[in-house]
C-alpha cells in the first residue's frame, strides 16, 4: 500500500468538501463545511490540514481521509475534523494519519492534541477511535460527547506496512500555535 499525505489544496478541495459533507460513519464530529470554509482553513497558516490518499495493488482508492487541526491555545492543536472513508477500514490508515499529524505537530512545537467524539446515530463505528490511538479520555457528557487528549512527546501509535509519501507541506512547516 502507498499512503500519500498533503495539506488541503485547490486541486483536492471539491473532494475534501464532498467527504466532509457526506461522511457519516467514520466521522468523529460530523461537522460540515462549505467550499469557502474549507478554502479558509486551507489558507490559514495556523490551521493544519491533511488530505490522505491510499493506493494498493488493486488500484487507487483516491482521497480517503481528511483531518483539520486548529490551534486552541499555545502548544495545543484541537482536532476539529477527522473522517475516513469506510472502504479502507482495517488497514490502519488512522494510525498512519496520526503519525503524520504528530510529525507536523512536533515540527510546530505542539505539545498536545485534543479531540472530541460527538455521537450520532450513524457514527457509532468510531466511538473508541481516540482510545484505540492512545488518547486519554478527559471528560464525558450525558449526551455521549467525550473529550480526549494526547501528549505529543509520549505518543507512539502503531504503524502499518505502507510506503509513505508526504508532500506539499513546505509552506506550513513553520506553524506555531
pLDDT in tens, 76-102: 999 999 999 877 777 789 999 999 999
Above 60 in pLDDT, residue 172? no
167, part of any domain: yes
139, part of any domain: yes
Task: Output 105 or 157, whichever has higher pLDDT.
Answer: 105
* Helix pair angle (13-22, 35-43), 10° resolution: 120
177, part of any domain: no
pLDDT of residue 156: 87
- Full domain range(s) for residue 58: 2-172
Count of structural domains within the chain = 1
52, part of any domain: yes
60, part of any domain: yes
Question: Which residue spans within 46-162 are E strands per DSSP?
Answer: 48-56, 59-73, 76-84, 112-117, 136-140, 146-151
Which CATH number belongs to the domain containing residue 160 in this structure?
3.40.630.30
46, part of any domain: yes
127, part of any domain: yes
Above 70 in pLDDT, residue 170? no
117, part of any domain: yes
8 A C-beta contact, residue 29 and residue 81: yes
pLDDT of residue 177: 40
Amino acid at each position: 500500500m502507498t499512503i500519500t499525505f498533503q495539506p488541503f489544496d485547490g486541486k483536492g478541495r471539491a473532494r475534501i468538501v464532498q467527504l466532509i459533507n457526506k461522511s457519516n460513519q467514520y466521522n468523529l464530529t460530523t461537522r460540515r463545511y462549505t467550499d469557502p470554509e474549507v478554502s479558509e482553513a486551507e489558507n490559514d497558516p495556523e490551521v493544519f490540514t491533511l488530505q490522505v490518499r491510499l493506493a494498493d495493488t488493486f488500484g487507487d482508492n483516491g482521497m480517503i481521509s481528511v483531518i483539520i487541526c486548529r490551534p486552541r491555545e499555545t502548544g495545543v492543536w484541537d482536532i476539529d475534523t477527522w473522517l475516513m472513508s469506510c472502504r479502507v477500514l482495517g488497514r490502519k490508515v488512522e494510525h498512519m494519519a496520526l503519525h503524520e499529524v504528530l510529525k507536523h505537530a512536533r515540527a510546530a512545537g505542539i505539545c498536545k492534541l485534543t479531540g472530541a467524539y460527538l455521537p450520532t446515530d450513524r457514527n457509532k463505528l468510531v466511538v473508541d477511535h481516540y482510545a484505540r490511538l492512545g488518547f486519554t479520555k478527559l471528560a464525558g457528557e450525558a449526551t455521549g460527547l467525550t473529550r480526549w487528549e494526547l501528549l505529543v512527546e509520549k505518543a507512539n501509535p502503531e504503524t502499518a506496512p505502507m510506503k509513505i509519501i508526504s508532500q506539499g507541506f513546505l509552506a506550513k512547516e513553520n506553524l506555531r500555535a
